[in-house]
Chain A
């Protein structure tokens, strides 16, 4: 079975700190990778795509390690508003479906 594994957390982090979390995926043929953000009792929203070369969007950096089959998300200078659950998502290459991790809960404390 194709899977995406994440540490459920919660990660309790002081405001202003840097936090990073990873997810691992089992399907070596996957080509597309994403991080979604889900606030409490809300729907998931795309945070960023993860490219082979890595990508950065403001305080957020995503990296892909194909050899070890993991994806990472780094958040610098964390804000209270970053508190959310971060979902790691990988494509199923046989169709246009996505395989979802269960999420990592992040709590930023003042």
Chain B
């Protein structure tokens, strides 16, 4: 069965802290994605990766960075958390040249 896991379901951080969100998939998928989801808005792509050590900016990369050192793991880093980064963060993966994405359960991050 397809499985994408995320390191935390709920996270509370203070403004200015460095935050790490981890995502692991066990499906040997080439593509991995980080989205944020806010009420009334569609999923917005932050970063994606097509291969190990490879990353591409999505629609809203400002304030974020990513790391993909292994095929199964894709990390999202908030260098200095701000209150406007309070959101639901969703990780997804997919096979190369396909569009069907499988999601992790999400991390609800609150920055105070």
A interface list, Cβ under 8 A from B: 4, 8, 32, 34, 42-46, 49, 87, 91, 96-103
Contact = CB atoms under 8 A, between A and B. Distances in A.
What is the size category of the interface that chain B forms with chain A?
A: 20 to 34
A87 B48 contact: no
A42 B6 CA distance: 13
Contact of A45 (B35, B43, B58, B103): B103
Contact of B103 (A8, A43, A103): A43
User: Per DSSP, are chain A's interface residues mostly helix, strand or loop, or mixed?
Assistant: strand
Given A43-B90, A96-B31, A97-B48, A102 B103 contact: no
Interface stretch (B13-21, B64-72, B78-86, B94-102): B94-102
B45 A97 contact: yes
A100 B105 contact: no
Interface string B1-14: 00000000000000
